[in-house]
Chains A and B, each alone.
Chain A
């Protein structure tokens, strides 16, 4: 079982006494929960029946002044803990981004790339800046997880999370696997259509914007979309993601498990689709 969407922003051993790191957690990522020892992260995974978790940094140095974690932090965590799978993050507006991506991936054995157009302040179809990064990710066989839909972080725009422009990216880079995060809520139907049409577009389940995880997941996957679409047509295209620590992993896992999907479909969502994407 794999959680495809977590952030190392509350791990005490990572934040330490660094005021900048704490500022990132409180003001840029914008979460108020207490810092917790690394042990709690693993206990959270255990409670949810999750074996491995993808750790996501966001290189938003240019747009926000400080990064929300880094490839190096994630790389060290995943190197020291086999239950973590590290992703890289680079700023596409940085001319060295493709080179740095390759260096970071090779140095830290990272398995994917995280990009957030809203937090990093770029347009996914800005060919001059983003296409060299996509080209590099494609050549390194890295899946790219895009933050899509609404963002909680202050100073981010919903308009930068509309998933439809990703069609052009999927079309121009047919060998680049794309993961649309947060089911792109509220643009759920567009995300589903893109994933249905393009073999290289996937969706993660880490969507919670109101109500409880069960209520929200049922609203998205059993109301905005028919759950039969997930069961019959998108079963190979959805990966489980919690967005921990914005949501406890157990709550999101229980919500997805409560949809009434078949065991085979749940196995794909919780495990096999992620393994295929990550090449593990």
Chain B
């Protein structure tokens, strides 16, 4: 049994952004030594998401726009107060809620050193509060 964990840095360059991380995960799987097994991917940040959907720009825009409609930036959020442990005001409740709605992780099976996924399935890191340096964890398990 092989278990490998990689922490990969992703830099978001915009306020809100969908970043295709499929090639990154495929590379980690390819280099893991695992032939058959599974890969678990998750974001380490509560104002970001990790989703699987069809990889086309119009859908990227629709997903971000609709999440923003469901959870507007301005709202009666209790989080908008001074957080003494952070030394600043928390005013990004919307980004945390979007993270919950979008989800933060994904699983894929691995067969013959390749991720088994639908031809249109793309793995996205969703930035809700960028630009920032972010980390995603990729754990590969198998034989």
Contacts and interface: CB of A to CB of B under 8 A. Distances in A.
B86 interface: yes
Given A39-B11, A47-B14, A47-B131, A213 B91 contact: yes
Interface string B69-94: 00001100100111001111101000
Interface string A23-55: 000000111111011011001101100000000
A39 B132 CA distance: 9
A199 interface: no
For chain A, the bracket of interface size reads 20 to 34
A245 B14 CA distance: 16
Nearest to B75: A212
Interface residues of B, number: 21
Interface SS of B by simple majority: loop
B74 A214 contact: yes
B13 A43 contact: yes
A246 B88 contact: yes
Nearest to B94: A212
Contacts of A31: 86-88
15 contacts: A30-B87, A32-B86, A32-B87, A33-B88, A39-B133, A40-B11, A43-B11, A43-B130, A43-B131, A209-B89, A210-B81, A211-B81, A212-B89, A213-B91, A247-B88
Interface of A: 29-34, 36-37, 39-40, 43-44, 46-47, 152, 208-216, 245-248, 250-251
Given A37-B11, A152-B87, A246-B89, 16 more contacts: A29-B87, A30-B87, A31-B86, A36-B132, A40-B133, A43-B13, A46-B13, A46-B131, A208-B89, A209-B89, A211-B91, A212-B89, A215-B74, A216-B89, A247-B89, A251-B91
